[in-house]
Structure 1
Amino acid sequence: MPKGVFQFCHILLLCVFTFPALGATSKAASPICAHPLSAGYNDWPPYAWQDRQGVAQGLDVELLRSFAEYLGCEINFINVPAKRSHQMLKSGTLDMMMGATKTFEREEYALFSSPYRHEEVRLFVLDEKKDSIKLSQWQDIFSQKLRLLVPISGWYGADYEQTRERLAQENLLVLSPDVDKSVQMLTYGRADLIIGDAMAMPYIASQHQGIRLSVLNPILDHNQIHLMLSKQSMSVEQLKQFNKAIKVLTNNGEVARIIHKWQQLSLAKQTKISNQQSPIDRQYAGLSSLMFSK
């Protein structure tokens, strides 16, 4: 065989064996989601809740679905109480959670994604009292002797944490088991103010109790919100891929679009409360048609 022909055949054989090998390595690499991922959530509208058909709905649910779709992953949403979901995340029986604030305690058992949205803690009054209660800073609660309603579960910012004992000593602190009960107590005149998430508090008040709240000026806390991935069932590589999805969908405007849609939905629900429906009906009525419109 002529030398030139031999050299050509040698190069051809190298190409035949080399390029398929490169392709095979890519296909053999572990996929981001080798199986459907389980994501825990509890009822916290408008971020997450279970509708009448047992399907997860809400702002955080839609955002996680978008991240998963970008990565080619399937998500199974599991409705579970908050405390139990953290235990399941620790053991690896749950892969992910949404809407999480990063803490040192949680970092012991979870990987935190890049932040994908923000959350504010605000003070609210009944709409009919918005002109009679003026508050520009936290200390006005003490100077004006305003009674504050606080759901027992949640983080409400440094101002509250640092003055909680003083509030109790001056009989200005009224604790309640949850947001629903807090709104009820506010309407019964048990307190002057209520504290909570800037989006969830007025939404739940309007949908569950048919009550309109007005927000006051101070922003008590501003938190970055993350996904939590179980250290037992998820890998650092999977975390990197979810961070990539968050970055891409943030940069192309998809995250902002979804958040804006839910902000508008929340506002619409607060300003148009139907008196012909039960509180439970009000929570879900019309959401299906509004939720997936673009």
Structure 2
Amino acid sequence: MKYLILLISLWLAPAYGCDHTFKVSIDSWPPFFVKEQEGWTGLDVEILKQAIAGAGCQIEFVYIPPRRGLKYIAIGKIDIMMAASYTKSRAEFGYFSTPYRDELIGIMMPKGLSNLYPANRLTDIFNQDIYLSTQRGAWYGDEFEEIKKSLRFQSKIHYANSEAQAIDLLMHQRVDGVATDVMAGLFKARELGFSGNIEFHPYLLNSSKVSFYVSKKSVPEALFNKLNDSLNNYLESDEYKALLSSYLPKTLFQNSSLE
């Protein structure tokens, strides 16, 4: 009988058996990390959940500010950070998964306005009669940083204290556009009931890849490889493609790797 019980137990065990619970650093950042009554959701959260479930492991979210999260990865106090950009210094302390989405920075405008500003580079837009808002302290790519330093263009930029404030100015026709993360800006516009009246200019300010950043201190390399293999399988699925498209505006960006 004991051999029969053992066989049944093995048959019921997950194909990717794992006794590890991944501790994941998280902070509110809609639509990527969203706190709901039943727990955390959002685009990045759902992708990570699928990768961890596919590896047969468990997940635990820990509310930690991003800068502290980087320190905790280095000492192994947490296992994973989401939406991480690769740097050589970070790679000393953690593994980077296969990139799972592009971080897109664009210009949100009232519907129909973007056609008035054809552009092959950002200066083409700023050379025209335009006034844009951007969130104070945000980094939206090297090209936009050069624009911000230009004495010729500084009068055409308004600095808002928050993304919501910048979009509110757009809603009330105080500015012509808002430089913003594409998915986060669209989410905020929907939240404010404004999404039906906006579009994104086809010229993309910046596009970079983001990955899951996994602590070398607390996660063995073999376990990271199992997690990354599971992620790669999910990224090839129709389910992933449908999830990603549900968060993107219907825009064909001129210089995006999503084309």
TM above 0.5: yes
Residue in 1 aligned with 2:7? Answer: none
1:90 to 59, 66, 74: 74
Structure 1 segment 85-234 matched on structure 2, within 5 A: 85-127=69-111, 130=113, 133-136=116-119, 137-166=121-150, 170-207=154-191, 209-212=192-195, 213-234=198-219
Q: Does 1:249 pair with 2:231?
A: no
Q: Secondary structure at the match of 1:210?
A: coil
Q: Secondary structure at the match of 1:185?
A: helix
Question: For residues 73 and 232 of structure 1, what CA distance do their matches in structure 2 show?
Answer: 18
CA RMSD of aligned residues (A): 2.7
What is the one-letter code of the residue matched to 2:75? S
- Which protein shows a greater Rg? 1
2:243 to 253, 257, 261: 261
Q: Quote the offset at 1:179 in angstroms.
A: 1.9
Identical amino acids, percent of aligned pairs = 23
Query: CA-to-partner distance for each residue in 1:128-163, whole Å, 9 max, x for gaps?
Result: x62674242411232114222222354422211232
Question: For residues 174 and 32 of structure 1, what CA distance do their matches in structure 2 show?
Answer: 53
Q: Quote the offset at 1:175 in angstroms.
A: 2.2
Q: Give the conservation status (yes or no) of the 8 Å contact 1:32–1:238.
A: no
Question: For residues 72 and 17 of structure 2, what CA distance do their matches in structure 1 show?
Answer: 21
Structure 1: runs of 5 or more not aligned? 1-30, 269-294
Q: Secondary structure at the match of 1:181?
A: helix
Report which structure shows greater RCO (CA 8 Å, sep ≥6). Answer: 2
Q: Quote the offset at 1:167 in angstroms.
A: 6.3
Alpha-carbon distance change, 135 to 149 in structure 1, aligned in 2, over 3 angstroms: farther
Question: For residues 103 and 177 of structure 1, what CA distance do their matches in structure 2 show?
Answer: 28
Give the alignment's TM-score, normalised by structure 1.
0.69
Question: For residues 87 and 146 of structure 2, what CA distance do their matches in structure 1 show?
Answer: 18
Question: For residues 246 and 120 of structure 1, what CA distance do their matches in structure 2 show?
Answer: 21
Alpha-carbon distance change, 141 to 210 in structure 1, aligned in 2, over 3 angstroms: same
The number of equivalent residue pairs is: 232
Residue in 2 aligned with 1:237? Answer: 222
Question: For residues 138 and 241 of structure 2, what CA distance do their matches in structure 1 show?
Answer: 22
Question: For residues 144 and 242 of structure 1, what CA distance do their matches in structure 2 show?
Answer: 48
Q: Quote the offset at 1:126 in angstroms.
A: 2.6
What is the one-letter code of the residue matched to 2:101? R
Alpha-carbon distance change, 177 to 40 in structure 1, aligned in 2, over 3 angstroms: farther
Question: For residues 113 and 172 of structure 2, what CA distance do their matches in structure 1 show?
Answer: 16
Question: For residues 168 and 233 of structure 1, what CA distance do their matches in structure 2 show?
Answer: 50
Q: Does 1:62 pair with 2:49?
A: no
Q: Quote the offset at 1:121 in angstroms.
A: 1.7
Q: Give the conservation status (yes or no) of the 8 Å contact 2:183–2:247.
A: no
Structure 1 segment 273-288 matched on structure 2, within 5 A: none
Structure 2: runs of 5 or more not aligned? 1-15, 251-259
Q: Give the conservation status (yes or no) of the 8 Å contact 2:23–2:60.
A: yes
Alpha-carbon distance change, 265 to 202 in structure 1, aligned in 2, over 3 angstroms: closer
In terms of mean alpha carbon deviation, does 163-172 or 237-246 score higher? Answer: 163-172
In terms of mean alpha carbon deviation, does 116-125 or 149-158 score higher? Answer: 149-158
Give the alignment's TM-score, normalised by structure 2.
0.77
Query: CA-to-partner distance for each residue in 1:8-28, whole Å, 9 max, x for gaps?
Result: xxxxxxxxxxxxxxxxxxxxx
Structure number having the greater helix percentage: 1
